């Protein structure tokens, strides 16, 4: 029989894009009031995997991933709502100028949050769904049939594999500190 237990905290990130790097940075800074300071930012890259957003945002779009400190996995619902509020605050003439998609990384998977339901998504509450978009198998993150093309790109997989190693080291340090009694 299984028993309830507290899951490990997750390494939170936000995929952020827009037309202007400066505007995206301002929005991420506003979101940092909830998530805390940015610990790592990926390089800026063109967001050219789809033209889905061009009507709303225009083009070209640039995107970066911003990583934050560890937090409980159940915080994803509130963080998704805060990202939505920041997107609305940065909107102009009813159109978003930034897109902020929060998610988190665990040793076994990468999870995204969305307000859109689909067969492979699990409802978390308050209109938020979770999607496992990458799974860790055979030494690397792997895609799933529904993984977005930008998350399936080699540069994104490499980024998440690298951050997974940092997350793993951090968890090991926390475990050692807890066992030695220096963290409660």
CA-angle at 27, arms to 67 and 49, nearest 5°: 70
pTM of the predicted model, to two decimals?
0.94
In the structure, what pLDDT confidence band is assigned to residue 184 with cuts at 50, 70 and 90?
very low
Domain assignment present for residue 5? The answer is: no
pLDDT in tens, 9-54: 999 999 999 999 999 999 999 999 999 999 999 999 999 889 999 9
**CA–CA gap between residue 87 and residue 20 (Å, rounded):** 14
Domain assignment present for residue 121? The answer is: yes
pLDDT in tens, 99-125: 999 999 999 999 999 999 999 999 999
Domain assignment present for residue 31? The answer is: yes
Domain assignment present for residue 4? The answer is: no
CATH of the domain at 21: 3.30.70.260
Q: Looking at residue 181, what is its pLDDT?
A: 59
Domain assignment present for residue 3? The answer is: no
Domain membership of residue 125 as a residue range: 10-179
CB atoms within 10 A of CB 29: 13
Domain assignment present for residue 184? The answer is: no
Q: Please report where in the chains the tokens 């509450």 appear, as a residue.
A: 125
């Amino acid at each position: 029989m299984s028993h309830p237990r507290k899951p490990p905290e997750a390494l939170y990130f936000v995929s952020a894009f827009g037309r202007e790097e400066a505007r995206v940075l301002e929005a991420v800074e506003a979101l940092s009031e909830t998530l805390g300071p940015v610990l790592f930012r990926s390089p800026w890259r063109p967001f050219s995997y789809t033209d889905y957003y061009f009507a709303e945002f225009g083009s070209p779009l640039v995107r970066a991933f911003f990583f934050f400190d560890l937090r409980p996995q159940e915080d994803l619902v509130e963080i998704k709502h805060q990202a939505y509020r920041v997107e609305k605050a940065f909107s102009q003439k009813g159109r978003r100028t930034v897109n902020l998609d929060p998610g988190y990384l665990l040793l076994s998977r990468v999870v995204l949050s969305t307000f859109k339901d689909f067969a492979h998504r699990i409802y978390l509450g308050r209109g938020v769904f979770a999607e496992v978009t990458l799974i860790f198998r055979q030494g690397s993150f792997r895609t799933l049939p529904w993984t977005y093309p930008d998350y399936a790109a080699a540069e994104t997989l490499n980024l998440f594999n690298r951050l997974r190693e940092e997350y793993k080291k951090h968890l090991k340090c926390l475990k050692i500190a807890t066992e030695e009694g220096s963290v409660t």
